[in-house]
Amino acid sequence: MNYLSTRGDRAPRGFSDILLEGLAPDGGLYLPDHYPAVDRARLARWRALYRGGAAGGYADLAFEILSLYIGDIAPAELRALVDKTYTAATYGSDAITPLRQLEPGLYIQALSNGPTLAFKDMAMQLLGQLFEYELARRGEHLNILGATSGDTGSAAEYAMRGKRGVHVFMLSPNGRMSPFQQAQMYSLVDANIHNIAIDGVFDDCQDIVKAVSNDLDFKRRWKIGTVNSINWARLLAQVVYYFAGYFQATADDGQPVSFAVPSGNFGNVCAGHVARMMGLPIAQLVVATNENDVLDEFFRSGRYRVRGSAETYETSSPSMDISKASNFERFVFDLLGRDAARTAQLFGPGLARDGGFTLAADDRARIAGFGFVSGKSSHADRLATIRDTWNRHQDMIDTHTADGLMVARQYLQPGVPMVVLETALPVKFAATIREALGCDPLRPAALQGIEDRPKRVTVMPADARQVMDYIAANAQG
Ligand SMILES: *Cc1c(COP(=O)(O)O)cnc(C)c1O
């Protein structure tokens, strides 16, 4: 399998060539040169593999799917990496992403039982294994630099902790994450994990990452890399749980299923798109946004409009507070029949100049053929959905999952099971749970008292120079 750029670069690259990369050199995103087709016979075989009852069914399934896209890691070695990643010890159950029924035909699939209690663990844990493997193979090392306001940073740290060849420098806004999130990140005391709390807001952290990354000499000297959501390996890892969800929600392989996906950067639901392109019988991909409705606006009107910071709202589902959807270009490339020249026109310099684009009517008409529909929710909707789900089903869901469930209900179809992806556990967003239910969220036993553990964090002013000095003093290489 080779990979190409959505903006036209077709220099042949294998999986390992793009694993440690961000954007393609032409500014596009990497995609496989085709989607391997999964026919009925293969689907039946995978179902048996996953549902075989033995522990490790998820890892078996993951190995099958990843093998179709990874041609340059020997099967036995890929098998070992996958087996180390998808264990009941890490994800709390053999199902890894267990499905539970809310009502007949309406299900929740838990993607949030990994170490940081958010769905980003599903991919990031695999990325940690792949990075360590690939860096060792090349005899190289990498210093990962990132900014986080919560989920991404902690998922990256828990995936990379103790991994050889990798250091993580994660900037977070000092005192601005929930006490639980701060405790989750800052209580990691591994030598290769460096928490840097910046006196400022998330945007200050992001500006520093940009400033450091734009200093090409520094970047090269210190082998600075990232783990952001446009990384193809992350997306690929996420494809697996759509198949796992499908097998749990159905008894036979012709049955269509819909998925409702709380969306921000379009990474999660883009993996659903890939699964559908491979032939998984997905009826609808329901894109659920919060008040930051870039994606909902697009699917309703054909207009993609990037928001400025004044129009990007802080909401109670903060992991979906985005101004543009960084993976969205991948879907538009497929929608346009993989026309790289037109994709480059829409997403290249024109996007920065015009702040967006509107699809032509005939392009828009093709969206339905890809299964996409959308909706948005407000803070009041989330509170009502959390309350209703608790009162009627004694099921406590987090704010992001509430966005998904609220929108899912608008698209229920008779005879088509609807699977809502649970992207975080409620304990991460305790303040909103208290507002909705008047009680504290449930907390997994392993995380009792996490706020009282010793912390390892360095506080710094919002000054890129000081961050660079810190990296130079602590980085590998
Ligand atoms: C990251 C995240 C999302 C959004 O996922 P995208 O891939 O960016 O669309 C939704 N919910 C939670 C809890 C997240 O951490």
- pLDDT tens sequence across 441-453: 988 888 888 989 9
Could you tell me if the CB of 263 is within 6 A of ligand 1? yes
For residue 310, pLDDT over 90 is answered with: no
Give pLDDT tens digits for 145-176. Answer: 999 887 889 999 999 999 999 999 999 999 88
pLDDT band (50, 70, 90) for residue 476: confident
Distance of CA 127 to the CA centre of its chain: 12
Give pLDDT tens digits for 335-358. Answer: 999 999 999 999 999 888 899 999
pLDDT number for residue 201: 85
Could you tell me if the CB of 266 is within 6 A of ligand 1? yes
pLDDT number for residue 203: 83
Distance of CA 28 to the CA centre of its chain: 19
Could you tell me if the CB of 432 is within 6 A of ligand 1? no
The mean pLDDT of 267-295, rounded to a whole number, is: 98
Give the whole-angstrom CA distance, residue 303 versus residue 300. 8
The residue whose CA is least distant from atom 1 of ligand 1 is: 319
The mean pLDDT of 222-242, rounded to a whole number, is: 94
pLDDT number for residue 34: 98
Name the CA dihedral angle for 451, 452, 456, 462, rounded to a multiple of 10 degrees: 50
Ligand 1 midpoint to CA 321 (Å): 9
For residue 229, pLDDT over 90 is answered with: no
pLDDT more than 70, % of the chain: 99
Give the whole-angstrom CA distance, residue 409 versus residue 108. 12
Give pLDDT tens digits for 6-54. Answer: 999 999 999 999 999 888 999 999 999 999 999 999 999 999 999 875 6
Helix boundaries (H) for 139-292: 151-160, 179-186, 202-214, 216-221, 232-249, 267-278
Ligand 1 midpoint to CA 229 (Å): 10
Give pLDDT tens digits for 72-93. Answer: 999 999 999 999 999 999 999 9
Give the whole-angstrom CA distance, residue 101 versus residue 108. 6
Give the whole-angstrom CA distance, residue 173 versus residue 182. 10
Could you tell me if the CB of 47 is within 6 A of ligand 1? no
Give the whole-angstrom CA distance, residue 73 versus residue 70. 6
Could you tell me if the CB of 120 is within 6 A of ligand 1? yes
Give the whole-angstrom CA distance, residue 161 versus residue 170. 12
DSSP 58: H
Could you tell me if the CB of 202 is within 6 A of ligand 1? no
Give pLDDT tens digits for 131-153. Answer: 999 999 999 999 999 998 878 89
The residue whose CA is least distant from atom 14 of ligand 1 is: 319
Report the chain's mean pLDDT, rounded to a whole number. 94
Q: Which two tokens stand for residue 167?
A: 């250091």
pLDDT number for residue 308: 85
pLDDT more than 90, % of the chain: 84
pLDDT number for residue 54: 63
Nearest alpha-carbon partner for 376 in 273, 270, 284, 297: 297
Q: Which two tokens stand for residue 252?
A: 């036979």
For residue 267, pLDDT over 70 is answered with: yes
**Beta-bridge partner residues of 416:** 413
For residue 227, pLDDT over 90 is answered with: no
Residues noted as catalytic: 120
pLDDT number for residue 46: 96
Could you tell me if the CB of 397 is within 6 A of ligand 1? no
Pairing of strands 418-422, 166-173: unpaired
Confirm if 208 and 464 have CB atoms less than 8 A apart. yes
pLDDT number for residue 268: 98
Ligand 1 midpoint to CA 218 (Å): 31
pLDDT band (50, 70, 90) for residue 382: very high
For residue 178, pLDDT over 90 is answered with: no
H or E segment and range at residue 108: strand 106-110
Ligand 1 midpoint to CA 231 (Å): 14
The one-letter code for the residue type at 344 is A
pLDDT number for residue 53: 59
pLDDT number for residue 88: 94
Give the whole-angstrom CA distance, residue 211 versus residue 118. 29
Ligand 1 midpoint to CA 206 (Å): 18
Atom in ligand 1 nearest the alpha carbon of residue 262: 10
pTM value? 0.96
The mean pLDDT of 49-62, rounded to a whole number, is: 85
* Cα distance between the two ends of the chain: 32
